Structure 1
Amino acid sequence: MSRTQDVVEDVQRLILDGGLRPGDRLPAEKALASELGVSRGSLREGVRALVVLGILEARHGNGTYVTDLDPATLLAPVAFLADLPGNHAPLHAVRATLETEAAGLAALHLTDGPVARARVALDDMSRALVAPRVEPAQLAAADLAFHRAVADASGNPVLAALLNALAGEGPRRRVWDEMHGLAGERTCEEHDAILAAITARDPDRARLRMAMHMVGVEDLLATTSTDGPLPRRRNLVEATSTR
């Protein structure tokens, strides 16, 4: 194991043990290097790695601080995995499971803000579909806004961050580009049904509606994706319908 990796793990351990808390400034370089038993060069390299990971923040002329450790920042690197060729199918299966649970939680933890954003996203998609020329980018943006609103409504910031990393702007745009704007009307109808179940505070129906929506996306992508057919998950709908 490299000394740089040692620094990364030691600083992470300090944070986990409470020696460093979100917002804390790191000790002076010389003191911290001595505490960790590494050279100042190795410490600098480790700190740079921790900055890239979103764990530390370097403030020019003011030292280095522990970030707020927000889940969205810490999970951002997952987006790179979502962009790698060949991962789209298995990641979609993971995303579908998370989306389904997010819809159920949203029905249980309903708040006005995310619901209003979901309705705006539905309206945006409806307008995009009646435009003289249907633009996949507009459909992708409305689709992303809707699912982000549902994830935020779940009340679980880690779940929302994971979903955003797995299906953020890049992956979402790629899906709509592959579908060539197809299924826009069906997607809008399914989003409407999902939102209706959420606002009715019916978690079982919300899960079922989202599961059916995600299976429909799989069916369409199976005919367009360059990664090959997506794995079937009929058991997801069946399991959800029996809750």
Structure 2
Amino acid sequence: MSLTDKAIARIRRMIREGELLPGSKLPPEQQLAAELGLSRNLMREAVKSLVVARVLEIRRGDGTYVTSLAPGLLLEGLGGAVELLQGDTVLELTEVRRLFEPVATALAATRISDEDLAEVERHLAAMRDARDDVELLTRHDAAFHRAVIRATGNETLATLLEHISGRTVRARVWRGLADAEAAGRTIAEHEAILDALAARDPNLAQAAALMHVNTTERWLRDHLADGEEIPAATGPQPTVPLRT
């Protein structure tokens, strides 16, 4: 480990062991450096790295603070890392989605509120309206799943799946463009998920979600095996916002 890495590890340990709590202010740089036996330059570099990692935040004119350490904040960098994955990793991410999302959907069925259910239904209605617009349908498809996963109330799970699933959106658009019947099947599969959620039936919800993700994975696997490539995005892909 470099000296900077050791400094980072020491600050992380202080947070992990409760010496520095979420939202607390760090001692002045000179004092903290002396307490840890580090130079001020090393301390400054460690703080910069932890700011980038969303562990610390610098408030100009006030000092350096520990962030909330919320999962959505700490896992923020995962999305950027996933976007840089190369080769056949889109298929690997689809496999990961298949492992996580059906179980998460089952959990959502046990916790979903009437308000959450209405949000899921709203995106399904938008998917029906966008049947002939693959890009828009896919954005509402992604928003549908985000609403389902958020209904679990598990921020860590929601953040992980958001970053994993987001990288597969382009593949789903490709399927919609290449398969004339994909829109109808996709909507029907989402209707099955909604029905299971409305019934608060976790087993049925898990089965419906597994069927849906598996269909996409199988299509993607077959076409990549034939040497086809996922078309690059032609522009920025805005997401459909969820109500808060």
TM-score, normalization by structure 2:
0.85
Deviations 1:137-167 (A, max 9, x none): x123201111111111112111111101212
Deviations 1:60-88 (A, max 9, x none): 22211111111112112222342211221
Deviations 1:89-136 (A, max 9, x none): 222211211101111101111212321221111111111114xxx242
Q: Which residue of 2 aligns with 1:210?
A: 209
**Structure 2 residue identity aligned to 1:63:** G
Separation in structure 1 between the aligned mates of residue 71 and residue 77 of structure 2, nearest angstrom? 11
- Cα 1:227–1:14 change in 2 (3 A) is farther
Q: Which residue of 2 aligns with 1:237?
A: none
**Structure 2 residue identity aligned to 1:109:** R
Instruction: Give RMSD over aligned pairs.
Output: 1.9
- CA-CA distance at 1:176 after TM superposition: 3.0
Deviations 1:6-49 (A, max 9, x none): 12211111111111111111110001111221111111111111
- CA-CA distance at 1:225 after TM superposition: 4.1
Greater than 6 Å deviation, 4+ residue runs:
226-229
Q: Which residue of 2 aligns with 1:154?
A: 152
Share of identical aligned residues, percent?
40
Separation in structure 2 between the aligned mates of residue 114 and residue 228 of structure 1, nearest angstrom? 41
Q: 5+ unaligned residues in a row in structure 2: which ranges?
A: 229-244
Q: Which residue of 1 aligns with 2:10?
A: 10
**Structure 1 residue identity aligned to 2:210:** A
Q: Which residue of 2 aligns with 1:113?
A: 115
Q: Which residue of 1 aligns with 2:21?
A: 21
Separation in structure 2 between the aligned mates of residue 61 and residue 224 of structure 1, nearest angstrom? 56
Partners of 1:105 and 1:155 within 8 A in 2: no
Q: Which residue of 2 aligns with 1:85?
A: 86
SS in 1 for 2:218: helix
**Structure 1 residue identity aligned to 2:15:** I
Q: Which residue of 1 aligns with 2:188?
A: 189
TM-score, normalization by structure 1:
0.85
- Cα 1:31–1:72 change in 2 (3 A) is same
Separation in structure 2 between the aligned mates of residue 173 and residue 212 of structure 1, nearest angstrom? 17
**Structure 1 residue identity aligned to 2:126:** D
- CA-CA distance at 1:210 after TM superposition: 0.5
Q: How many residues are treated as equivalent by the alignment?
A: 223
Separation in structure 2 between the aligned mates of residue 226 and residue 18 of structure 1, nearest angstrom? 51
Q: 5+ unaligned residues in a row in structure 1: which ranges?
A: 230-243
